[in-house]
Amino acid sequence: MTRSSLLALAALLLAGAPAAPGQIPQPGEAPDPWAALTAVRESLIAAGPTAAEFTQAYVPAGFSAGEEEHGRLALALPDCLRWDYRDPYPKSFLLCGGEAFYWNPEDKTGRRYPVDRQREPGLDLLLLGVEQLRERYQATAAAGEAGRVEIDLAPREGEAAPKGFASAHLVVDAASHRLVELSYLDPEGNLSRFTISGYGPLAADGLFSPPEGIAWEDG
Please give the residue that has the higher pLDDT: either 201 or 2: 201
Taking residues 26-36, report their average pLDDT: 74
pLDDT of residue 17: 45
Alpha helices per DSSP H over the chain: 3-14, 33-47, 130-136
Please give the residue that has the higher pLDDT: either 163 or 200: 200
User: Which domain range does residue 114 map to?
Assistant: 3-218
pLDDT of residue 20: 42
Residue 143 has pLDDT above 70, yes or no: yes
* Side-chain half-sphere exposure of 96, counting CA atoms within 13 A: 17
pLDDT of residue 123: 59
CB-based burial label for 67 (10 Å; 0-12, 13-18, 19+) = exposed
Taking residues 23-45, report their average pLDDT: 75
**What is the residue-averaged pLDDT of the chain?**
81
Q: Are 60 and 66 in contact (CB under 8 A)?
A: yes
Please give the residue that has the higher pLDDT: either 17 or 29: 29
Question: DSSP assignment, residue 138?
Answer: E
Query: Assign residue 145 a region: left if phi > 0, alpha if psi is -120 to 50, beta otherwise?
Result: beta
Count the domains in the chain: 1
Cα 120 to Cα 90: distance, rounded to the nearest angstrom:
26
Query: Assign residue 180 a region: left if phi > 0, alpha if psi is -120 to 50, beta otherwise?
Result: alpha
Cα 126 to Cα 45: distance, rounded to the nearest angstrom:
13
- Nearest of 73, 41, 94 to residue 202 by alpha carbon: 73
pLDDT tens digit string along 144-192?
888 899 989 888 876 555 566 678 888 999 889 998 998 888 888 888 8
Please give the residue that has the higher pLDDT: either 121 or 67: 67
Cα 122 to Cα 200: distance, rounded to the nearest angstrom:
26
Report the percent of the chain where pLDDT is more than 90: 31
pLDDT tens digit string along 83-105?
999 988 899 999 887 888 999 98
Highest mean pLDDT among 31-40, 78-87, 113-122: 78-87
For β-strands 215-218 and 109-114, DSSP reports them as parallel
Q: Are 26 and 199 in contact (CB under 8 A)?
A: no
Cα 167 to Cα 191: distance, rounded to the nearest angstrom:
10
Q: For the domain that residue 76 is a member of, what is the CATH number?
A: 2.50.20.10
pLDDT of residue 68: 92
Question: DSSP assignment, residue 44?
Answer: H
Please give the residue that has the higher pLDDT: either 129 or 172: 172
